[in-house]
Structure 1
Amino acid sequence: MPPLARIRGERDRMSAIERRIADFMLDNAHLLRDYSSQQLANALGISQSSVVKFSQKLGFKGYPDLKFSIGESLARLDSDGGDAGTALAAHDDDPGARLAESLWRAKAEAVTVTRALNAHTEVARVAEAIRTAGKVYAIGVGNDGLHARALSIKLAMIGRTAIHLFDPALMAVGTSSAASGDVLLVLCEHGQEAALCHTARLFRQRGGKVVTITRHTANALRAHADIALLVSAHDPRPQVEVLLYHAALQHLLDLVFLLLCEDEVHLRMLVENAAPIE
């Protein structure tokens, strides 16, 4: 994963001092080649050891290693950016086209970081749990609920018994018939919904398996997960950040669905159920 993407993806889990370092690096990446660890520490009013520990926490030997990796990544982007620059320059007189290009690139980065956060084995575990489950419950609140509903429909089309729950007050009741081997898929961006945490806890007590999809943050919901998938999507513009989150979330759900469709029985059921709709 590119170092700046890694920093952006880990930011929500950092301490206050680490976030200050991260924000400086993200905002001034091209200037880091002129900063020693001591100069960076002086600029931020922190200790040099904090900069070193920050670098090591990201998996680098030290700050020089991190700085070199960022510089190399930026050089690669500059080298590969000729076509992108040409494309953007071609849209100088078309703000709509420039906005579309910018959004596409931001979504691509969000999906790339999210992919890196979730090992394929973990995504495959989710697909296998759904494949072997007696029933699949999909729950979410707000916009997450829309994704849960769409996934429930897809699962039904491949022959899985899928139940979509959307009322927080009734979620615990709605899963009261859950049995061992059933799967509860919980979508919650920030993972702090008390009703969802309560439902997940009860579901596990009944022997079911809980899968959570949240932002890449330490949150209460992840503590109740058997399998936790993570979404990373960051942008200073709130109207863009929400789009990035849903794009990355949808990518994860689409990948799970495609893995399920590798089963010939599921694929045949999908074709049969889709035929009358066409």
Structure 2
Amino acid sequence: MPPLLKIRSERDQMSAIERRIADFLLENAHLLRDYSSQQLADALQISQSSVVKFSQKLGFKGYPDLKYSIGEAVARIGGTATATAARAPKVPARQALVESLWQGKVRSEEETRLINAGEKLTEIAGLLQRAGKVYCLGLGDDSLPAQALAHRLALLGLVALYHSDVVLMTSSISSATRGDVLFVFSEHGQHPALNQLARQFREHHGKVVSVTRHTSNPLRAHADAPLLVSAHDERPHIQPLLYQSAVQHLLDQIFVLLCDGDRVEQLNANLEHVQHLLDPKL
């Protein structure tokens, strides 16, 4: 796993001092070559041994190895950007923008895949398979993947209920029972009503699956199985596109895991029914 991604994915489990080091490295990765371990310690007003222990905890022999690894990662990113810029004069501006967007999506999906272990996805697929009911909830832009997931689960023969209204969801989960699943989407995981719903759902002995950015947030803390999304870009209008793409890739993986045995037969039968409704001539 790339060092910066490893730092981001493990930040929430770090101590206060380790988080200070992590944040400095993430924000100043391109300047790290100019910092010795002592200079980094002085900048953060911590001991040099804390920097060394931080490096070793991440799996490196020491700070020099960590700094070298981060430097290589930054150079690779810079090399990719340079290569893209070099090709830009040879292609129309529109095509260069499209290629840049595609590369950003691929990078976000790869990082998201790395921070969500395959075992976690298998566990979530198992929860959905055994669930009596699956509640899918999302507000605003987060309602789109929630609705799409509910639709796909229904095609597989699962009882899936979609909501984009917190009040309606509150009354709906009153019928939740042990083993039911709440799949809640919230990019930043800070919405108080969603956090309250997650707590209430667990009181009904249901399981909560959250989909948020890989930051420390209340919704993630309330979830039995948190899914984390990596999507970073300096352009504000591009970052949401990367996030949505990475979320969809996560859901696609879970859907494929669910398409097994009788489920895929049910899916094919339902797709035939849907196609017949859309085009009765077929």
Query: Shorter chain as normaliser: what TM range?
Result: 0.7 to 0.9
Provide the residue aligned with 2:279 in structure 1.
none
Does 1:6 find its partner at 2:12?
no
CA distance 1:233–1:56, change in 2 (3 Å): farther
Matched, 1:270 2:274: no
Post-superposition offset of 1:54: 4.5
Higher relative contact order (CA 8 A, sep 6+): 1
Structure 1 spans left out of the alignment, 5+ residues:
none
Cα 1:181–1:102 change in 2 (3 A) is: same
- Post-superposition Cα deviations, 1:17-42, rounded to whole Å, max 9, x if no partner, equal 542332111x346xx2x543234556
In the alignment, the residues of structure 2 paired with residue 12 and residue 91 of structure 1 have an alpha-carbon distance, to the nearest angstrom, of: 39
Report the counterpart of residue 103 of structure 1 in structure 2. Answer: 101
- Cα distance in 1 for partners of 2:170, 2:127 equals 21
TM-score under structure 2 normalisation?
A: 0.84
Q: Which residue of 2 aligns with 1:52?
A: 52
Distance 2:31 2:101 in 1: 21
Change (3 A) 1:112 1:164: same
The whole-number CA distance in structure 2 between the counterparts of 1:11 and 1:233 is: 16
Give deviations 1:82-112, integer Å, cap 9, x for gaps. Answer: 9x93x65343252211111211121112111
| Local SS of the residue matching 2:247 | helix
Query: 1:55-204 maps to which residues of 2 (within 5 A)?
Result: 55-73=55-73, 85=83, 89-92=86-89, 93-204=91-202
Relative distance call for 1:28 and 1:10 in structure 2 (3 A) is farther
* 2-structure distance, mates of 1:182, 1:188: 19
Aligned to 2:278: none
How far did 1:70 drift? 2.8
Equivalent residue runs for 1:212-231 within 5 Å: 212-231=210-229
State the shift of 1:202 in Å: 1.4
Q: CA, structure 1 residues 171+277, in 2 after alignment: closer, same or farther (shift >3 Å)?
A: closer
- Using structure 1 for the length normalisation, give the TM-score: 0.85
Note if contact 2:178-2:205 (Cα within 8 Å) is conserved in structure 1: yes
In the TM superposition, what is the alpha-carbon distance from 1:9 to its structure 2 partner? 4.8
Q: How has the CA–CA distance of structure 1 residues 48 and 102 changed in structure 2, closer, same or farther, with 3 Å as cutoff? A: farther
List alignment gaps of at least 5 residues for structure 2: 276-282
Paired amino acid for 2:270: N
The change in CA–CA distance for 1:219 and 1:128 in structure 2 (over 3 A counts) is: same
Deviations 1:133-185 (A, max 9, x none): 11111111111111100100000011110000111122221111111111111
Is the CA contact (8 Å cut-off) linking 1:165 and 1:174 kept in structure 2? no
